[in-house]
Amino acid sequence: MNKTTELYSGKAKTVYETDSPDHLILEFRDDATAFDGTKKASLARKGAVNNQFNAFIMTQLQTAGINTHFVEQRSANESVVKRLAMIPVECVVRNIAAGSICKRLGLEEGQTFAEPIFEFFYKDDALHDPMINDAHILAFQWATADEIEQMKQLTLAVNNILKPLFAEAGILLVDYKLEFGRFHGELVLGDEFTPDGCRLWDADSGEKLDKDRFRRDLGNVIEAYEDVANRLGITLT
């Protein structure tokens, strides 16, 4: 499969059209951003680490029965994916209190919830990704009631697959964000699953091993991503 034209360049990935109308190529770049793109840096190896991390997780999810857009890894920092029509919402699941829910509800970071909490956000950096609910998604016709139900169920199903996977590597899956799209009418998991879009804490020390290291200037950002990858058994090239 060959790249043809650049379709879109996001904050950390560039998307290319290919000679197949049903496929795109994702190029994971070394760019890191936070706080809706206002904080920026280039971190050596990030693109390759995240591409290989994502390939591993997407393959695990696919094997466990989740329909994903992932087709194959193409190079160290590129993957072939199915071309989805993306739904502009972010599906977040939280197992432990961190990030925006702490500010919103006045919680201490680190509290484990009795049940995983599901939240929808509207994907719009200029508006700081505001929290929304099912009614907004229906009123703006971003997705049908059936698709909303599928997004919730699939995002929670991913928790049941990934929480034990990370736990075996001595890592707590604190929270994560997923995005979905449609492929010939079917709801499919798109975008990526990397330490850029989730929170991962060392189970013993509580050390942060995700993008909070970049957000909070904790240093060794990519070293932490590589540590997680190694602990999951991913062989990075």
Q: Which of 4, 22, 35, 104 binds ligand ASP (CB under 6 A)?
A: 35
From the list 14-22, 40-48, 148-156, 172-180, the region that binds ligand TMP by CB under 6 A is 172-180
Q: Which of 3, 94, 39 is nearest to 12 (CA)?
A: 39
Interface with ligand TMP (CB under 6 A), residue from 59, 67, 100, 150:
100
Name every residue whose Cβ is closer than 8 Å to that of residue 146 and which is 6 or more positions away in sequence.
Answer: none
Minimum Å gap between C-beta 131 and ligand TMP is: 8
- Out of 58, 81, 92, 224, the only residue in the binding site for ligand TMP (CB under 6 A) is 92
Sole binder of ligand ASP in the list 33, 68, 77, 95 (CB under 6 A): 33
The binder of ligand TMP chosen from 99, 109, 163, 202 (CB under 6 A): 99
Distance CA 136, CA 142 (A): 8
11 binds ligand ASP (CB under 6 A): yes
Residue 176, contacted partner among ligand TMP, ligand ASP, none, CB below 5-8 A by kind = ligand TMP
Residues 66-74: contacts with CB within 8 Å, 24+ apart? Answer: 66/154, 66/157, 66/158, 66/161, 66/189, 67/186, 67/187, 67/188, 67/189, 68/188, 68/189, 68/190, 69/181, 69/183, 69/188, 69/189, 69/190, 71/23, 74/1, 74/25
CA distances from 199 to 163, 175, 192, 237 (A): 12, 5, 14, 24
Which residue is nearest to ligand ASP, using beta carbons?
A: 34
Under rule CB under 6 A, residue 130 binds ligand ASP: no
User: With CB under 6 A as the contact rule, which of the stretches 34-42, 66-74, 168-176, 200-208 interacts with ligand ASP?
Assistant: 34-42
Nearer to ligand ASP, 31 or 227 (CB): 31
Ramachandran bin of 185, using left for φ above 0, alpha for ψ from -120 to 50, beta for the remaining angles: left
Give me the least distance between CB of 99 and ligand ASP, in Å please.
8
Choice from 34, 43, 66, 165 touching ligand ASP (CB under 6 A): 34
CB atoms inside a 10 Å sphere around CB 223: 12
Buried b (16+ CB within 10 A) or exposed e, 117-147: eebbbbbeeeeebeebeeeebeeeebbeeeb
Min separation Cβ 29 and ligand ASP, Å = 13
> Which option in ligand TMP, ligand ASP, none does residue 18 bind, with CB closer than 5 to 8 A by kind?
none
* Interacting residues toward ligand TMP by CB under 6 A: 90, 92, 99-100, 121, 129, 175-177, 197-199
Which spans of this chain sit near ligand ASP (rule: CB under 6 A)?
11, 33-37, 211, 215
